[in-house]
Structure formats: structure tokens, C-alpha cells
Amino acid sequence: MKNGSTTRVALIYGGRSGEHPVSCMTAGSVMASIDRDRYEIVPIGIRRDGTWVSGTTDSELLGTGTAEVGPGEPITVSYGTGEFYEGGKSLEIDVAFPLLHGPFGEDGTIQGLFEMAGVKYVGSGVFSSAAVMDKHFTKIILQAAGLPVGPWVLVTRSGWENSREELTDQIAQLRMPLFVKPTRAGSSLGISRIESLDQLDEAIREAQKHDPKVIVEQGLAGREVECAVLGGRGTERARASTVGEIILNNPTSGFYDFESKYVETDGLVLQIPAEIPEDDMERLRTMAVEAFEAVDCEGMARVDFFFDGGDITINEINTIPGFTPYSMYPLLWQKSGMTYAELIDELLTLALERQTGLR
């Protein structure tokens, strides 16, 4: 505690990705729920152009879902000393809590900044953040660890220009429907579901609007279920929540896309706990922790699965999952006995006990 008995938390939100408003909404939720007797919030906004500025403490404004980081006093970081400065004055930060989604937020870039600056922070480190943000490398790591993943084909920009016929032949071996995704975008941005190869070129162009690197995945049968993982204290193993299920009853959307998550949510049901046999529930929880450890995650992660009559396939991992009180990750922990405020406290406690650098 650099300034009195409370811990000063740099709540960092906004960012350069398409999930900027979602990040602002999450920051508003954390501000409204954090224990103010223990923590003092220092809001730092990142504008869409990447500029760091002093943020707002107006949680209602941030929670509208349309908020943007606007003008503010420039914020700078001193490398090595772990100091944040506003107008030449130290903000005396104890720990950073990044609530950023997508590129430049959960992909290892800001985590590298924190490491270089010597700032303690919530969440996974540089490698795991970068690896998990890239759906292609996530699959490679999980597969190497003996964990089940679905079939896929990687399409780079140069590959699609120079080896389109060969890549199309590889993709044709996958079973329809196919999901064409930006490899390094979050919140299901730019994802298309296709039923024939005639739709492939258009779907790849749409994905490339968000990322030049695209992954084409075979559609998997089964229910979409998710498990929240929380790092362990000290040398203790990570902990897994109960398992929840995403039930999408919206006829206008064939899958859990950005619109279903944040815009047209009327047909979305989060069933917690999922109606799954207890033995299978334990298998999912165990596999969630194994995936968390395989990619060297820290702090928090949500592991998403397809569950089909006992068959389990890992879909993806998210190191900065949706974190409003109505998002799956906090809801899973609430159903597992940990309130939203307690979850925030636990994540900050884990961050404060961890050193930067090799560990």
C-alpha cells in the first residue's frame, strides 16, 4: 500500500480492439462492486488510438455499453520502477487490473509492458496470454498436452493468395458446417458459419477484416459448456468452478456470436449448473484445470468445451473472459459460492502475491 492502508488499483480499460465498449462496461461493473474499504480505484483509459489517459470513476456512464474513452490527462509508465505518472506526479499504483479484450489487451502486449515496468498485475503472463489469444497455437499446445481439440486448417493472408487451391482441398476434408474465425480476435467478432465451400471466400474476407490470420474449424456436435478456472494461492493448484451451459434460442443466429453475447440477448440462456451427469461434470472441471496449466495460465481463465454424450472437446480458452456480473465467468463462481466482490478481491490477492519476471 503505497498511500495509506488501502491498495491502489490501476483499473485499465478501453483499448484499441473492437471490444472497446465491452471493456468500458466491465470497468464500470468492477468499480461499482469492488470493496472500497480495501481498494482505491485509479481509473486509466486507453483510447482507440492507443493513447493512455486518466479515466473516469463514473461507473454508470461506463456501464451503458456504448461508452468510449475520451480526453484526459496523459498517463505514462516508468520502466523498471513500476510507477504510473499523471502530469509528472506519481499515481502510487500497487497493482494493475487490465480489463481489456482482444488485440493489445489480452494478447501478451500489455502484459509485456507490465513485466518490463515491474508492475504487478491481474491475470496470465506474456506467453500464455499470447498463445491463448491465438486460436491456432492454443490448439497446438493443447494437442501436445494430450487434450482433445477439433480439426482445423490455418489460412494466412499469403497462404490464401498463393496456395488457395491446396488450402481449399484441405478444408474440403473437414465436415460441414465450418466455422471461419479470425485467429486472434475475441467476443466472436468476424466469425462466419458456412455450409458449403462456395461460401468460404466471403467468410475468409470477413474474418480478415479483424485479423489477417484465419482459422477454419470443423463444426462440432454437442452442447456448448464452460468452466471458470481461478489460480491457486502460492504453490496450490488452480481451482475449477461448476460447469455452465450456453443455450441459444435465438432463431436469427446459428451460433454464439457477438450479437448474441452483447446485442440481441433475449434468446440467450446461461444454464448454471449445466444439466450434466456428475461424473462428466468432474471430468470437465479436471480438464479445465489441465488446460489452464498446459498453457501456463495465471489468475483467471474460462475454458470452453463441446460436450456430446460424454465426448469432450476443448473449443478455446479465454484469459480475460467477460467480467460483468452477468457474464459467464463471474456467474460460474457465484454459483460455486464466491460473490462478484469476493472474486475481484481474490484476483487482486493473487496478483499482489506474485512477482513479475520469471516465476
Query: Tens digits of per-residue pLDDT, 188-243?
Result: 678 999 999 999 999 999 999 989 999 999 999 899 999 999 999 999 999 999 99
Q: Which three cell numbers stand for residue 289?
A: 484445470
Residue 73 designated active-site: no
pLDDT, one tens digit per residue, over 82-123 is 899 998 899 999 999 999 988 899 999 999 999 999 999 999
Average pLDDT value for residue range 240-253 = 79
Domains and CATH numbers, the chain: 7-121 (3.40.50.20), 131-148+221-353 (3.30.470.20), 152-218 (3.30.1490.20)
Position 253 scores a pLDDT of 47
Q: What is the pTM of this model?
A: 0.90
The larger pLDDT score, comparing residue 184 to residue 54, is at: 54
**Angle between helix 340-353 and helix 20-33 axes, rounded to 10 deg:** 100
223 annotated as a binding-site residue: yes
Residue 96 annotated as lining a ligand binding site: no
Q: Is 221 annotated as a binding residue?
A: yes
Say yes or no to pLDDT of 310 above 80: yes
Mean pLDDT, range 249-269, rounded to an integer: 52
Catalytic residue among 17, 19, 40, 128: 19
At 205 the pLDDT is 96
Q: CA triplet 354, 358, 359: central angle to 5 degrees?
A: 45
Q: Is the pLDDT of residue 254 over 90?
A: no
Angle at 311 between CA 310 and CA 312, to 5 degrees: 110
Count Cβ atoms within 10 A of the Cβ of residue 271 and give its class: 0-12 exposed, 13-18 middle, 19 or more buried.
Answer: middle
Q: Which pLDDT value is given to residue 80?
A: 86
**pLDDT score for 295:** 97
What is the predicted pLDDT for the residue at 3? 55
19 is catalytic: yes
Q: How far apart are CA 322 and CA 263, in angstroms?
A: 14
Q: What is the pLDDT of residues 136-174, one digit of tens each?
A: 999 999 999 999 999 999 999 999 999 999 999 999 999
Q: Is 150 within 8 Å of 188 (Cβ atoms)?
A: no
- Looking at the predicted structure, is the pLDDT value of residue 72 above 60? yes
- The confidence band for 264, taking pLDDT boundaries of 50, 70 and 90, is very low
The span from the CA of 141 to the CA of 258, in Å, is 26
| 188 annotated to a ligand binding site | yes
Q: Which of 59, 187, 241, 260 is catalytic?
A: 187
- Choose, from 124, 128, 260, 327, the residue flagged as catalytic: 327
User: Known binder of ligand: residue 304?
Assistant: yes
Is 327 marked active-site? yes
